[in-house]
Amino acid sequence: MLHLPNATPPGTPVIVEVKELTVNDDERAAIRRFDDTKVAVWGWGPPGRRIRQKIEDAKAQLKPPIGGTCPAVLLLYDARPVTVALLHSYDVMVAMYGLETINLHVPENGGHRVTLGRRTFGAGGKLKPGIHTFLSAVCVLRRNAGGELHLDVYDNAFATHRLPIEQLGTLSNITLYTLPPGNEGEFGWVRVEDPAADQLTSGSSGRSRHGPSCGE
């Protein structure tokens, strides 16, 4: 069975703080424009901004001593109309861990191409080693293309009490994402697809490097 470090045993109580995403002024205007012209542009600003704020708002309810002895989860429910309900795994990732940063390798001698290095996490993340470790995961409750409720669970790799993915992974209406085990500084989610796998290794059936699309 696959286990995450600090995973809590099955049967442990979990504290859940529910936050709702509702339409803001920018999105309300976008809905009107779309209804009138079938075209709308909105959402300027840093990616993950609203989720980042929801994490900040949940601190008072989830931080120790309330959330210090068992897993604590922030559950986001997107109550916005489908036109603007475009909450993507990328937004959750940059809100939790920081903006995407690509290292460029510039050669000392001219005439050589600049090469791309690793994709890592930059500024703006709410969750880091030793910071907000009481938060075990950020979860998003959404409706899939068939109209059924689905729960996306985004694991906090630095949490004191992590959720037991071997239990969550057996449920058909839950998808779980985590950072690459042993390489948590690498930008990108690992989708846990096979909780019975012996380990998460590159190319194994237990991981893939993608998140849910807006209409999935």
Give the per-residue pLDDT at 146: 79
Q: How many domains does the chain have?
A: 1
170 located within any domain: yes
For 100-118, write each residue's pLDDT tens digit.
Answer: 998 888 887 777 788 888 8
CA-based nearest residue to 215, from 153, 144, 140, 142: 144
44 located within any domain: yes
List of the chain residues with pLDDT < 70: 1-7, 9-10, 65-68, 165-166, 169-170, 194-216
DSSP state, 135?
Answer: E
197 located within any domain: yes
Instruction: Give yes or no for a contact between 78 and 142, defined as CB atoms under 8 angstroms apart.
Output: yes
Amino acid identity of residue 83, one-letter, is: T
Upper half-sphere CA count for residue 128 (Cβ side, 13 Å): 9
**How many angstroms separate the CA atoms of 178 and 44, rounded?**
27
Instruction: Give yes or no for a contact between 153 and 141, defined as CB atoms under 8 angstroms apart.
Output: no
For 140-181, write each residue's pLDDT tens digit.
Answer: 998 777 778 889 999 999 999 888 766 776 677 888 899 988
42 located within any domain: yes
DSSP string, 145-213: TTS-EEEEEEE-TT-SSB--HHHHTT-TTEEEEEPPTT-TTBSS-EEE--TTSS---TTSTTEES----
Give the per-residue pLDDT at 66: 64
Which pTM does this prediction carry? 0.79
213 located within any domain: no
Instruction: Give yes or no for a contact between 197 and 3, defined as CB atoms under 8 angstroms apart.
Output: no
93 located within any domain: yes
60 located within any domain: yes
Domain of 22 in residue numbering reads as 15-208
9 located within any domain: no
